[in-house]
Structure 1
Amino acid sequence: MFKFAPRNVVTRRRNKKAKIIIKNEDDDDDEETEEEDKLRKITREDNHIYFHAEVDRGSVFEMIEHLRTCELDNIVHAHNLCLDEIPIYLHINSFGGSLFDAMTAIDAIQSCKVPVYTVIEGSTASAGTLMSVVGTKRYMRPNAYMLIHQLSAGSWGKMAELEDEFTNNKVLMDKIKNIYREHASIPKKELAEILKHDLWWDFEKCKSYGLVDEEWKRT
């Protein structure tokens, strides 16, 4: 299991999984799932998509559905209004989640036929930052924060399986570094040190390292 979220979020997820296995009861899990569903909001208003959720298969699939319909609408509107293009604004507020699902989101964002501008809102960490940095333009609200760090993984099995897991982790960690190096301006040696820590960065810090381009002051 590869998770790319702050440690407290990963721990909560692991505990949740262990509780289901040990107690073999669904009541508590249903309560947690319902609470998470209340906090999960992926909506669209015109050419703005709001991704306020953990990065997982369901949330990314829902986001991609909005992305594709918005892409088609924007192409039609741009043609009707004789405009070159109408961008999609993807607002992100997420503590992160699954690395593989973040990669799926990245591919969808980068394959869009119209520009996708990302907007960091509230707090966005880990997998959520990977989604944001690949935007054509990257915005951040003045009171928002970003966190980038190493991936987290849990595994069990035979020695050979654990060795494979270590190799996989290294490959994925290299992929994470490459994304930040390609879409930000963090020096290679400094990036390795930064990723060892869980530190929240404000707009000025993020802009200085090339993680965002401009401050978002609109409503």
Structure 2
Amino acid sequence: MTKKEKTDPSEKSKDLFISIASHKLFTPITVIKLRIELLLNDRSLTKSVRGQLNETLKSVAKLEDFANVLLRISDVIEVKDDDIREINVKKLITAVISDFTDTAMQKKIKFKIDYDKNTLIKVNFKDSYLRYILSSIIENSIKYGKDGGHINVECSISNKKVNISVADDGAGIPENELNMLFRSFFRGTNVQKLDVNGYGLSLYTVKLLVDRLGGKIRGESRESAGTKFTIEFKNNS
């Protein structure tokens, strides 16, 4: 599989900016972080100054987190693969859900998983890419899911296609905003009122990666009723 050619100059410019920004941000962030930490070691600091430095350090941590998000997007932009690999989807999904067990438990969210009998697929990309896609979607479902809610993960496999869906019963997205679901920096107007941190880049990155891997992704949602994402890839079995 070769990297898809882009015809839109604005998209190329955006990719270039993300690639440069993600790498250039880390050096100044590291310097600022180290200097603040050194200042905090000074025992003569007043309580007020120490408090201000700690708040600044929190802001730097957020900036560092954002730089890491940009770096992941930059890595996705460069994705290139063509070797056929066999992946056990059941094993992969179980591992991803296991990663989020503690986070889900904090909100008392329960998972329901439905697999086909055959869980082996052959795709032309690394399993780490699929793991990243599922992790991002499930993390999103937990983040915006309701306390005591459910997340349903379904996987259906045929000789030609692999379909995996993740559905929650959380905040959902207003109908008039669904067309912006995979845009960079998009966050639904309804979730902006919630106390949930985010940059509006996770679904953009997922869509970018799914496209790079020759797959499809779609989102369905109803405000206050939840969101469902379905990804589809070619099965080379």
TM-score higher than 0.5: no
The higher radius of gyration belongs to 2
With normalisation by structure 2, the TM-score equals: 0.33
